[in-house]
A and B are shown apart, each in its own frame.
Chain A
Amino acid sequence: MRTDVTKITETSPYAELTEGLKIYAGGTSKKFHTGEWRTSRPIMNWEKCKQCLLCAPVCPDSSIPVADGKRGNFEMDYCKGCGICASVCPFGAIEMKEGQ
């Protein structure tokens, strides 16, 4: 069954689920926003950021995008607020703040 996987929800009738619950695509989890789990958020101070990128690999949620050797803004749809990035930043450019 080649149902459009992006349209499958917990209210879909059985005939609309994929056969064997296979998913014919990669990275569909991006539809699910784990940012809602957050109880504290990282705040970026771009002036202090030296683009060393040490924060990028430590993010468990792939929420620090890097392109052409430079990091961008946090993907707040997914960031769970663990604070590892703030902890490893040698320049104090990331600060964790309570709240979503």
Chain B
Amino acid sequence: MNTYDFKNTMSKPERLAPGHRMCAGCGGTIAVRAVLRGLHPEDQAVIGNATSCLEVSTFMYPYTAWEDSYIHNAFENAGATIGGVEAAYNVLKKKGKLKDADNFKFITFGGDGGTYDIGLQSLSGAMERNHDILYVCYDNGAYMNTGIQRSSATPLYADTTTTPVGSHSNGKMQNRKDLASIIADHNVPYAAQTTLLGNFKDIHTKAEKGIYTKGAAFLNVMAPCPRGWRYETSEIMDICKLAVETCYWPLFEVENGKWTLNYEPRKKLPIEDFLRPQGRFRHLFKRGNEHLLEEFQTEVDRRWEDLLFKSSRT
């Protein structure tokens, strides 16, 4: 891998065309653009996509925003679908039916609904079979496409339309699933977690590694949704930074079973700093709800300690 040259990277031809219908300020497309910059310009790709905001907005007939070949199948089967494409590539190459096409890469995108929940089986199968693909989850922590319903990626106490805050409810009562760890435990060659930060070095490096690792790779990208999280669209980069600085969203990678923590805050910020700017957590800051914040903090701390332990093993 080359060292990260930000200006060169940003000068690459754009692989996600404008004119798509994602929301103003969408974190998902920022993530997609960053991942696609991980592709070397001389390489071609087939992009897969689970049904999601991304899908219905980027391939609305007859407008595709994708410069590369693209396939959407259904909500729950992006893993199997891209696996089928990759298998076709291998056999057609073997049979000599693909002349001048030895540079295809396979990347698929799913939201947390299509990845953590309804598509988990398909993803798990594709990972276990070790197809030479990169599966990217753009995790915005709820089913945003259908109007902000909770998913298993939704954080504790988030206010969603199926976990509404009410006189008898403080939002979602369960902790979020840790999908990156689950995929890492498939013992795939590469699994990592990242988000949108600064000059995008972390996500770029991980996308490039994922794309060019032989075998199955998984990248979990926290991609904030201004509508679902209820913050000012312009503030996305601050939110992402706070997720990392509070250790809510640690940056890590697992290469052939070896866990590496990519960033450790000099001073871990309290979880309130990440939650406060988001309308979905407003109820946590009402008087009398301090214990809810404490609970949230306890879970963040526990997971952070666990990650420190995993990444300290040599």
List the interface of chain A (C-beta within 8 A of B).
5, 8, 18, 21, 23, 25-34, 37-38, 53-54, 56-63, 65-69, 75, 77-78, 80-84, 86-88, 96
Contacts and interface: CB of A to CB of B under 8 A. Distances in A.
Nearest to A86: B234
Interface in B166-201: 196, 198-200
Interface stretch (B8-16, B83-91, B250-258): B8-16
B24 A81 contact: yes
Interface-centre pick from B62, B196, B233, B237 (highest chain A CB count, 10 A): B62
Contact of A32 (B29, B33, B63): B63
Interface string B48-70: 00000000001111111111110
B18 A83 contact: no
A21 B196 CA distance: 34
Contact of A29 (B33, B65, B236): B65
B119 interface: no
Contacts of B16: 62
B235 A30 contact: no
A67 to B, nearest CB: 6
Contacts, number: 132
B19 A83 contact: no
B17 interface: yes
A81 B303 CA distance: 37
B105 interface: no
Contacts of B63: 28-29, 31-32
Interface in B208-232: 226, 232
A83 B233 contact: yes
Most B-side CB within 10 Å, residue of A18, A26, A84: A84
Contact of B27 (A21, A31, A60): A60
A38 B61 CA distance: 22
Given A29-B18, A33-B19, A61-B20, 11 more contacts: A23-B64, A30-B18, A31-B19, A54-B198, A57-B200, A65-B14, A68-B11, A69-B7, A78-B19, A83-B234, A84-B236
A62 B18 contact: yes
A83 B62 contact: no
Nearest 8 A/B pairs, CB to CB: A29-B19, A82-B25, A78-B18, A83-B234, A27-B17, A80-B24, A26-B67, A87-B234
Interface string B24-44: 111111100110010000000
Given A30-B19, A57-B199, A62-B33, A84 B237 contact: yes
B66 A26 contact: yes
Contacts of B7: 53, 69
A60 B14 CA distance: 12
